[in-house]
Amino acid sequence: MSGKTLYDKIWDAHVVQQDADGTCLLYIDRHLVHEVTSPQAFEGLRMSGRKVRAPERTIAVPDHNVPTTLDRESGIENEESRIQVEALDKNARDFGVNYYPVSDVRQGIVHIVGPEQGWTLPGMTVVCGDSHTATHGAFGALAHGIGTSEVEHVLATQTLIQSKSKNMKVEITGQLRPGVTAKDITLSVIGHTGTGGGTGYVIEYCGEAIRSLSMEGRMTVCNMAIEGGARAGLIAPDETTFEYVKGRPHAPKGAQFEAAHSWWKTLFSDDDAHWDKVVTIKGEDIAPVVTWGTSPEDVLAITDVVPAPESFSGGKVEAAKRALSYMGLEAGQKLTDIKIDTVFIGSCTNGRIEDLRAAAEILKGKKVKDGMRAMVVPGSGLVRAQAEEEGLAQIFIDAGFEWRLAGCSMCLAMNPDQLAPGERCAATSNRNFEGRQGKGGRTHLMSPAMAAAAAVTGHLTDVRDLMAAPAEA
Amino acid sequence: MEKFEKLTGIAAPMPLVNIDTDMIIPKQFLKTIKRSGLGVHAFDEMRYLDDGSENPEFVLNQPAYREASVIVAGDNFGCGSSREHAPWALADFGIKVVISTSFADIFYNNCFKNGMLPIVMPQDVVDVLMKDAEKGANARMTVDLENQVVTTSDGEEFAFEVDPFRKHCLVEGLDDIGLTMEKAGAIDSFEAQAAQSRPWV
C-alpha cells in the first residue's frame, strides 16, 4: 500500500462517517462567512427552526459590498448593499457567531482576516461560501469554496457531504528569477494547465520555489488554485508556517501550541504517496506574466505578443476571438504596447502587507502617469495600519494612488469601485472575466510589482525594466 | 426540493467554452437576500443591450429557445465563483439540465442542491447533442435520470453517469440537511474524540 498525500491525511482526520459508495460526511473545523452568500442560508435556518451548531467555529465578516472610501462610516449608499451588510450584522448577532463588523479595525477580506487572526491553522478543514477559500490551503489546511446550500448545511451540522477528489502535484523546482513573484507562479501554472486542468483534483504545490515563499506568497499561490479548476490548493506546513501562526489571537498558546506543533509536523505527503497527476515547472522558466484575454488561463510573459485566435484549437478559437474583441486587442500587438487607464492593487489574492511592500518598492520616488486612476485597497484594517506604520501608505499617496479602506473592492466591483465600459485596468486580483470589474471593463491580471510598474509608465510594463540594476561586478 | 425524474424539453446550444458564473449572473444581482426571482437576470450582459432591450442575437432570446429547459454547453461550464445565484438564476429561468464535457466543481455541486441535473458527456456526444439543440423548438430532447439516458429528437440514445447518492436525492427530492441531522450522534462522537486528539482546534 502506498503512502498518503497531505490531502489524504487531512481528509482521513475529518471523516465523521463513510457510506458504502464512498460518500463521506466530513467535519468542518472553521466556517468563514461573508454577506453575499450567507443571507439565504441563515434564512433557511430560521425557516426550519435550526440553530448554528458550532458558532464558536464560525467567523463572519462583511467584505464584498463595503465601500472603501474614507467616508464609509456615513453608511452604504446603495440600498441593496446596505441591506445585505445589515442582514449579516443581524444574523451574526442572532446566531452568536464570531463577528468583525465594518467598524472594527480587524475587518477586511474574509480570506485575509481568517489567517491574520489565527483562525486558520495547519491540518484544519476550512470552508466559506466563496471560491477563493482555497487561499487558506497555504497553511496546509484543506480549504475550499461552497455554495449557499452547503453554507446552510455547515451552519446546521458543522459537516459537509463530500466525495474525495484526486491528488495532483504541482512542483515548482529551483528558484525564481528577479522580478518574478508568487502571482507569476500561480498564473503560469494556470496558463500551463488551463482553467479546467485542476477539475476533480486537490493540488499540492511543492518544490524549492514554493518552500522559499513567505506565507503571503503561499496564500497568493493557493488563492488561485480555483482558477485552475481545482477544489483546493495545499502547501505542506513548515517552519515558515509555524512562525506565522505563533502568537496570533486565535492560535493555540503554550502547551497547546506544542501539542499542535507536533501534529502539524506530520502533515506532509509521504515519499511513496500516489499522485493522479503531476505537473513540474522550472522556477527559472517563469517570467513576469500578464493576462491578455478574459480567462485566467490567457497568460503570457510580458515580453510576448497578443496571440492569434487561430493559434488555438477547438472551442478556444471562438473564445479567443471573442476575448480579443472584448479586450479591444489585435493579434500580434506587443503586450508592452497596451495602454492602461486604471491600476487596482488589492484583493484576497494580493492585498497583504508583502504585496503592498512589493508595489511600494517600485513606486518609491515615482509618480503615477498623468491622467490615470490608481488605487490601493489593503486586504484588512490591520494590513492598512501596518502599511501606514511602515511608511508604505505615504509612498502610495505621494505617487498619486488613492489609499483606501479594506474590502474586496474592484476585484469584483460589488461596491462603488468599478470600471467604466472600455476602461482598461492593470489588476492584482484573480479574475479577468467579461464584466468582472464593471460592465465592459477590461482586466489584465498581474503581480503587485507589475501593476505598480504599469501605473508609472501608463502601459503594461516589464517590471524588470524599472528595478534597480544590480551593481556591476 | 422538487423531484427530478424525467424531462422532455427544448435544448439551447451554447457552444462557447468557459462560460463563467459572472456571465451566468453578474455581481450586481448578488445583492439580493432571496433565492428567487433571478431568472430575468440570467446571462444579463449577453442577453440585454445597453438600453435594456433584448439582444436578438443571444440564443435564449430567439423565439425557438425562449422556453428552453436544457442547455448544451462548451467545456468548463460554470467556472469562477461559488455563487449559488448561478444555478438559482438558471433554474428560475426554467433550465433544469446542463450538458457539457466538463463543469467547474462548485457549480456542479450547487446544481444538485437546487433540483438541477448537470450531465458530463464526452466531446463526440456533446457535438451530436449540440447539433440536435441547433434544430430549434421542434426538436425536443429527453433526459431520463432514472435510467440515465439522454435521447435526441431523432431518438438517438446516450447513457450518462451520475453519482448514486446525488441521483437518489434528486429523484426523491431529498433535503441534505435533514439527512445529515439524522447522523447527529456520529457528529457528537466525532467532536468528542477530536476534543481529545486536537484540543486546540
DSSP letters along A383-408, please? HHHHHHHTTHHHHHHHHT-EEPPSS-
Residue of B nearest to A129 (CA): B82
Contact A40 B81 (CB under 8 A): no
Of the candidates B188, B129, B182, the residue with the CA atom closest to the CA atom of residue B157 = B129
Q: Choose between A49 and A468: higher pLDDT.
A: A49
Residue A473 pLDDT class (50, 70, 90 cuts): very low
Min Cα distance A141 → chain B (Å) is 12
Q: Residue A118 region, left (φ>0) first, then alpha (ψ -120 to 50), else beta?
A: left
Between CA B104 and CA B84 the distance in angstroms is 13
Contacts of B194 in chain A (CB under 8 A): 27
- Torsions phi, psi for B23 (to 5 deg): -75, -40
Which among B26, B32, B190 is the nearest to A27, CB-wise?
Answer: B190
Interacting residues of A471 by C-beta distance below 8 A, sequence separation 6+: none
Whole-number Cα distances in Å, A355 to A78, A116, A179, A350 = 30, 15, 13, 6
- E-strand ranges in chain B read 6-14, 70-73, 97-100, 117-120, 140-144, 149-151, 157-159
Contact B82 A231 (CB under 8 A): no
Q: Which CATH number fits domain A6-277: 3.30.499.10, 3.10.129.10, 3.80.30.20, 1.50.10.100?
A: 3.30.499.10
Domain ranges of chain A: 6-277, 289-465
Residue B1 maps to a domain: no
Q: Would you state the cell numbers that stand for residue B105, as one nine-digit string?
A: 466543481
Between CA A68 and CA B111 the distance in angstroms is 34
* Cβ proximity of B100 and B11 under 8 Å: no
Residue for grid cell 441593496:
A80
Q: What is the pLDDT of residues A407-427, one digit of tens each?
A: 999 999 999 999 999 999 999
Query: Which one of A9, A89, A161 makes the best mutation probe of the B interface by having the most chain B beta carbons within 10 Å?
Result: A161
Is the fold of A6-277 the same as that of A289-465? yes
Q: What is the pLDDT of residue A358?
A: 98
Interacting residues of A46 by C-beta distance below 8 A, sequence separation 6+: none
* Cβ proximity of A433 and A425 under 8 Å: no
pLDDT at A285 over 90: yes
Q: Would you state the cell numbers that stand for residue A454, as one nine-digit string?
A: 504599469
Interface of B with A in 23-42 (CB under 8 A): 23, 26-28, 30-35
Contact A161 B176 (CB under 8 A): yes
Between CA A299 and CA A445 the distance in angstroms is 9
Question: What is residue A414's three-state secondary structure?
Answer: coil
Between CA A356 and CA A379 the distance in angstroms is 10
> ipTM greater than 0.85, yes or no?
yes
Contacts of B198 in chain A (CB under 8 A): 13, 123, 260, 263
Contact A121 B200 (CB under 8 A): yes
Pairing of β A442-445 and β B6-14: unpaired
H or E stretch at A167: strand A166-173
Residue for grid cell 450567507:
A38
CA geometry: angle A32, A350, A62, nearest 5 deg? 35
Q: What is the pLDDT of residue A472?
A: 46
Q: What is the pLDDT of residues A64-101, one digit of tens each?
A: 999 999 999 899 999 999 999 999 999 999 999 999 99
Interacting residues of A418 by C-beta distance below 8 A, sequence separation 6+: A410, A437, A438, A441
Between CA B122 and CA B109 the distance in angstroms is 19
Residue for grid cell 472551442:
A315
Q: What is the pLDDT of residue A21?
A: 86
Around B199, how many Cα atoms within 13 Å sit in the side-chain half-sphere?
Answer: 8
A332: DSSP letter: T
Q: Is B80 on the interface with A (CB under 8 A)?
A: yes
Contact A147 B81 (CB under 8 A): no
**Helix A381-389 × helix A353-363 angle, to 10°:** 40
Contact B177 A50 (CB under 8 A): yes
Interface of B with A in 137-156 (CB under 8 A): none
CA geometry: angle A23, A27, A28, nearest 5 deg? 125
What DSSP string runs through A77-131? Answer: SSHHHHHHHHHHHHHHHHHT-EE--TTSTT-B-HHHHHHHTT---TT-EEEESSG
Min Cα distance A382 → chain B (Å) is 24
Q: In what order do the strands lie in the sheet with A24-27?
A: A15-18, A24-27, A159-162
Q: What is the pLDDT of residue A73?
A: 87
Other CB atoms within 10 A of residue A424 CB: 21
Q: What is the pLDDT of residue A99?
A: 98
Q: What is the pLDDT of residues A110-135, one digit of tens each?
A: 999 999 999 999 999 999 999 999 99
pLDDT at A471 over 60: no
Residue of B nearest to A158 (CA): B187
A470: DSSP letter: P
- Architecture in CATH for domain A289-465: 2-Layer Sandwich (3.30)
Residue-range definition of the domain harbouring residue B50 = 6-197
Exposed/middle/buried for residue A385 (C-beta within 10 Å: 0-12, 13-18, 19+): middle
* Number of structural domains in chain B: 1
> Residue A425 annotated as binding?
no
**CATH number of B57's domain:** 3.20.19.10
Contact A157 B177 (CB under 8 A): yes
Contacts of A130 in chain B (CB under 8 A): 81-82
Q: Is B195 on the interface with A (CB under 8 A)?
A: no
Min Cα distance B181 → chain A (Å) is 7
Q: Would you state the cell numbers that stand for residue B176, as one nine-digit string?
A: 441534505
Which among B33, B80, B187 is the nearest to A433, CB-wise?
Answer: B80
> Residue A24 annotated as binding?
no
**Interface A-B: count of C-beta contacts within 8 A:** 190
Q: What is the pLDDT of residue B4?
A: 95
Whole-number Cα distances in Å, A112 to A128, A351, A382, A384 = 13, 8, 10, 12
Contacts of B113 in chain A (CB under 8 A): 147, 149-150
* Cβ proximity of A290 and A450 under 8 Å: yes
Whole-number Cα distances in Å, A224 to A173, A419, B33 = 19, 22, 27
Q: How large is the average pLDDT for residues A348-368? A: 98
Torsion of CA B162, B87, A134, A352, to 10 degrees: 170
Q: What is the pLDDT of residue A469?
A: 59
Which residue ranges of chain B lie beneath pLDDT 70? none
> Residue A128 annotated as binding?
no
Among A74-78, A155-159, A187-191, which stretch is predicted with the lowest mean pLDDT? Answer: A74-78
Q: What is the pLDDT of residue B2?
A: 82
Q: What is the pLDDT of residue A167?
A: 98
Residue of A nearest to B108 (CA): A147
H or E stretch at A380: none
* Cβ proximity of A343 and A457 under 8 Å: no
Contacts of B28 in chain A (CB under 8 A): 414
Of the candidates A97, A88, A63, the residue with the CA atom closest to the CA atom of residue A406 = A63
Q: Is B168 on the interface with A (CB under 8 A)?
A: no
> What sign does the CA torsion over A5, A8, A10, A13 have?
negative
Q: What is the pLDDT of residue A361?
A: 97
Residue B119 maps to a domain: yes
* Cβ proximity of A328 and A422 under 8 Å: yes
Q: What is the pLDDT of residue A470?
A: 55
* Cβ proximity of A400 and A367 under 8 Å: yes
* Cβ proximity of A128 and A344 under 8 Å: no
Q: Would you state the cell numbers that stand for residue A295, as one nine-digit string?
A: 480567462
